[in-house]
Copies of this chain bind each other. A is one copy, B any other.
Amino acid sequence: MLSLKAQYGLRAIISLAAHHGKGPLQAREIASSQGVPVRYLELLLSQLRRARLVEATRGKNGGYILSRKPNEITVWDIVTAFEGKAILFQPKEAVDAPPQTRVLSFIWRDAEKKVIDYLSSLKISHVLETLKSDKEMYFI
């Protein structure tokens, strides 16, 4: 399962995507819409910066923007920014697994590949459209 950090990170990216082309968004604006402390959100944003998914802009109206278009960022980009490349099945379990079960690791590897393929195909622009069509959704 994905960490809460990755989930909030994805949510932050979506807020930025919803605001794309309208100038930078401040950390506190995103934080308040998500109901999380600003410091926590800044932590997520710095992780997203290191992964080159967001950029910080300085000045009076400074804040954060996406460094690519929403249709050029996938959910998998965000997941890997927080969890690394092998999140679902391989972590240390595959290494720790006894040799008798290790021969079956191709199954978990293939299953993981299905997830990665799906998350890599899922663009942020598409997620945004899906959420917009959901009446219960609220936006920043």
Contacts and interface: CB of A to CB of B under 8 A. Distances in A.
A130 interface: yes
Interface string A25-41: 00000000111100000
Interface residues of A, number: 40
Contact of A1 (B91, B98, B107, B110): B91
Interface stretch (A3-11, A16-24, A45-53, A57-65): A3-11
A34 B114 contact: no
A122 B109 CA distance: 13
A88 interface: yes
A7 B104 contact: yes
The copy count of this chain in the complex is: 2
B75 A11 contact: no
Contacts of A122: 107
A89 B112 CA distance: 12
Most buried by B among A34, A36, A91, A98: A98
26 contacts: A4-B98, A4-B101, A7-B97, A7-B101, A7-B104, A8-B100, A8-B101, A10-B104, A11-B100, A11-B101, A14-B104, A35-B100, A75-B107, A88-B88, A104-B127, A104-B131, A106-B130, A107-B119, A107-B127, A111-B115, A111-B118, A111-B119, A114-B114, A114-B115, A114-B117, A114-B118
